[in-house]
């Protein structure tokens, strides 16, 4: 019924409706953010009953509306924008939600939205039963039990003036006025609804561009005939009709701004999206690189760095992997696994969705451990076995038993520290690392929790043995273009896999290119491990637009989690 097309990297929804002022446009697509198109297709096929398209790998057909999946970082989920959610209708909502609940978040990314009383389904008298979930990348989805319109059911807008917004889509896009069960005024585009709710008073909808639902798209036969009509209807083109770069067909596309800052694409029949290049793998240009110098003559490592490209690399080489490096496809698949597996309690807004999505691409490293060369951590000493076992027991106890007080949780949960080297490791969100240098010092600030290490690069008097700190006492030096930092004097209370207070941590920071910083850490802790071992991963520079900056991560100040943990523990007792 509708030609399925994808638009440059977003999830598009297309519908067709009968024209009112102009010939009715069809929904064509909904442009949705995902961390990989293939994963988006898979997820919506598995959980929402959409179908993969035979000739395209970046979109799924959901009842004639395409969902187009575009890999990109987003600045938030769909709620809060002018396109709050999309809806699907199923014949038996109870059964469907039970299925989804059984699937679980971990590994599937299916996140249910619970009502205040803990239930997940609401029965709206006169309408039908409804429930809400989120996809792994922040798009809110309503599931309804509307037997009249099964499958892709609606696009739900949030408007400051719903009547005016409806009029726009009726007059300009040609939606047909209708009332859903006599209760909700909306528009029909073929058999898919466009519904509008009042946006919360006192706030304005945020623009959809750059959010989980980037835009919605309508199809017209041709801009030659419809373009003038659109203009006549007062539509301002933000981007004139043209064949986009790398488009699969010669059909044109234009962008217009709808009410409530909703980005709308208008495409011609036959439009089939654009070919997206998957981000290339970081083999980068690792040729000789001359590290720039500061004005006082030491290597200049300053800037904002992010560890996103290294998210998902396992610490040790998995037993069944015997290659030196993953292929790009394997690396992308691993990144996706990390994305879906990493979505649990938190709302999408707390996480970098694209979790593993990094503009520079994903690391093909097999393991963080690079020495020993087999990628496996050396055996523990007998004392190390005991320490590691007691650390594991404590972790299990925290995960399963009520916490009597904050001390029963972890230093990370208490917002005290992630410890070293943990605080340097890539994580699901807030991966920023800022390096600022002054003569004789390098300051390294991690965004997560906000922890700063001020590292002297000139020799300092050794710290006394009684000065024991969470992050130890660091001493840096320049070795060629590499910053080497040796840290001792740990208090041992933020143990890394059993590491003791006697650990000596040696780190090496080396620029491999203008946008790539290699980080190596060597753990020497003879009490725990029978030999020193070294891990490595890379940070990429936020060179795109310089927009990334460390925003204050006031962890302890906002640690509602601790109150929740303790309140829950008391309730369980």
Binding site residues, other proteins, CB under 8 A:
294-297, 302, 402, 404-407, 414-417, 434, 436-443, 445, 449-452, 454, 456, 460-461, 463, 467, 469-471, 473, 549-552, 554, 556-557, 562-563, 566-567, 569-570, 573
| CB of residue 179 to other proteins, shortest distance in Å | 42
Over the Cα atoms of the chain, what is R_g? 27
| Bond from prior residue into 465 cis (ω within 30 degrees of 0) | no
| CB of residue 462 to other proteins, shortest distance in Å | 9
| CB of residue 302 to other proteins, shortest distance in Å | 6
Question: Of the two residues 181 and 556, which places its CB atom closer to other proteins in the complex?
Answer: 556
| Spatial separation of the C-alpha atoms in residues 213 and 74, rounded to whole Å | 9
Question: Of the two residues 35 and 417, which places its CB atom closer to other proteins in the complex?
Answer: 417
Question: Of the two residues 294 and 327, which places its CB atom closer to other proteins in the complex?
Answer: 294
What do you get for the CA distance between the two ends of the chain, in Å?
A: 58
| CB of residue 348 to other proteins, shortest distance in Å | 18
Question: Of the two residues 3 and 487, which places its CB atom closer to other proteins in the complex?
Answer: 487
Give the burial class of 210: count Cβ atoms within 10 A of its Cβ; 0-12 exposed, 13-18 middle, 19 or more buried.
middle
| CB of residue 469 to other proteins, shortest distance in Å | 5
b/e code 102-116 from CB counts within 10 Å (16+ = b): eeebeebbbbbeeee
**Which residues share a beta bridge with 538?**
518
Residue 477: enclosing H or E segment and its boundaries? strand 473-479
Residue 261 Cα distances to 13, 86, 298, angstroms: 17, 17, 48
Residues 6+ apart with CB under 8 A from 390: none
Structure tokens at 141: 């989805």
| CB of residue 416 to other proteins, shortest distance in Å | 5
Question: Of the two residues 280 and 438, which places its CB atom closer to other proteins in the complex?
Answer: 438
| Spatial separation of the C-alpha atoms in residues 226 and 231, rounded to whole Å | 9
| CB of residue 431 to other proteins, shortest distance in Å | 17
Residue 435: enclosing H or E segment and its boundaries? strand 432-438
| CB of residue 561 to other proteins, shortest distance in Å | 11
3-class secondary structure, 149: coil
Question: Of the two residues 526 and 561, which places its CB atom closer to other proteins in the complex?
Answer: 561
| Spatial separation of the C-alpha atoms in residues 416 and 413, rounded to whole Å | 8
- Nearest Cα to Cα of residue 428 among 408, 407, 447: 447
């Amino acid at each position: 019924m509708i030609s399925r097309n994808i638009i440059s990297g977003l999830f598009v929804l297309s519908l067709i409706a009968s024209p009112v002022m102009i010939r009715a446009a069809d929904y064509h697509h909904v442009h949705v953010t995902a961390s990989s198109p293939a994963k988006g297709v898979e997820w919506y096929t598995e959980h929402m009953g959409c179908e993969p398209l035979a000739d395209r790998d970046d979109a799924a057909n959901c009842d004639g509306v395409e969902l187009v999946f575009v890999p990109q970082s987003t600045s938030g989920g769909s709620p809060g924008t002018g396109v709050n959610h999309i809806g699907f209708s199923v014949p038996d909502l109870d059964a469907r939600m039970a299925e989804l609940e059984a699937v679980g978040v971990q590994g599937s990314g299916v996140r249910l939205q619970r009502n205040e009383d803990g239930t997940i389904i609401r029965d709206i008298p006169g309408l039908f039963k409804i429930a809400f979930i989120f996809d792994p990348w922040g798009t809110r989805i309503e599931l309804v039990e509307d037997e009249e319109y099964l499958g892709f059911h609606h696009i739900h807008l949030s408007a400051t003036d719903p009547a005016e917004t409806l009029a726009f889509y009726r007059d300009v896009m040609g939606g047909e006025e209708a009332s859903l069960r006599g209760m909700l005024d909306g528009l029909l585009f073929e058999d898919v609804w466009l519904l509008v709710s009042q946006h919360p008073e006192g706030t304005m909808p945020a623009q959809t561009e750059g959010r989980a639902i980037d835009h919605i798209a309508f199809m017209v036969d041709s801009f030659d005939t419809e373009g003038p009509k659109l203009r006549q209807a007062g539509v301002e083109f933000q981007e004139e009709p043209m064949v986009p770069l790398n488009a699969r067909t010669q059909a044109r596309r234009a962008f217009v701004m709808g009410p409530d800052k909703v980005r709308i694409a208008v495409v011609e029949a036959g439009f089939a999206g654009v070919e997206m290049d998957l981000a290339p793998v970081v083999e980068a240009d690792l040729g000789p690189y001359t590290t720039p110098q500061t004005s006082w003559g030491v290597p200049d490592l300053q800037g904002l760095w992010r560890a996103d490209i290294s998210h998902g690399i396992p610490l040790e080489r998995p037993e069944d992997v015997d290659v030196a490096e993953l292929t790009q496809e394997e690396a992308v698949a691993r990144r996706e696994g990390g994305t879906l597996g990493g979505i649990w309690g938190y709302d999408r807004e707390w996480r970098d969705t694209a979790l593993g999505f990094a503009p520079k691409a994903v690391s093909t490293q097999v393991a963080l451990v690079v020495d020993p060369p087999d990628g496996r951590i050396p055996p523990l000493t007998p004392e190390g076995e005991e320490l590691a076992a007691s650390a594991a027991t404590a972790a299990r106890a925290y995960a399963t038993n009520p916490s009597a007080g904050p001390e029963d949780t972890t230093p990370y949960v208490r917002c005290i520290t992630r410890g070293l080297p943990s605080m340097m490791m890539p994580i699901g969100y807030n991966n920023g690392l800022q390096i600022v240098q002054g003569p004789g010092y390098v300051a390294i600030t991690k965004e997560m929790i906000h922890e700063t290490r001020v590292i002297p690069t000139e020799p300092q008097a050794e710290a006394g043995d009684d000065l024991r700190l969470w992050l130890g006492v660091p001493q840096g030096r320049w070795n060629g273009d590499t910053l080497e930092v040796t840290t001792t004097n740990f208090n041992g209370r933020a143990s890394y896999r059993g590491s003791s207070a006697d650990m000596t941590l040696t780190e090496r920071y080396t620029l491999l290119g203008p946008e790539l910083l290699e980080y190596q850490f060597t753990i020497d802790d003879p009490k725990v491990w029978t030999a020193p071992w070294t891990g490595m991963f890379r940070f990429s520079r936020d060179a795109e637009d310089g927009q990334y900056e460390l925003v204050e991560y006031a962890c302890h100040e906002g640690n509602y989690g601790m109150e929740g943990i303790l309140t829950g523990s008391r309730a369980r007792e």
